[in-house]
Amino acid sequence: MVVTSKWAIKKWEENLRRKLCGPGVGNKTWWSLVKDKQGTGHQESIPPLSKQDGTVTTSSKKAQLLASLLAGKMKVGNPQQPPPQLVKQCKKTVTMVEVTQQKVK
């Protein structure tokens, strides 16, 4: 059982490394894989924005609901704790990212 478990973990890490270093990895995929590696990939859905009687809540109530949902997700147990260090998976490193208004459009 231990051998099988170690083999599965090794295969998962190799697969993750291949996905992160691949030519087609985009921001969304990269961050999704990083969150999975950190164990923070679970996402809760936003609760319904309608009342139980079927009517829609007001805009301010919707904003309050969304704000409280996001505030709950942004809390960390210990704000002084440094973020986890990820093991370098790729041979190349991004040293500069240039974003211009023209490229964003």
Over residues 41-83, the pLDDT tens digits come to 565 666 666 667 777 777 787 788 788 878 877 777 787 888 8
Could you tell me how far CA 33 lies from the centroid of its own chain?
7
pTM of the model: 0.33
Q: Are residues 21 and 90 in contact, defined by beta-carbon separation less than 8 angstroms?
A: yes
Domain boundaries, the chain: 1-34
More confident residue, 41 or 22: 22
Place of tokens 């079927």: 54
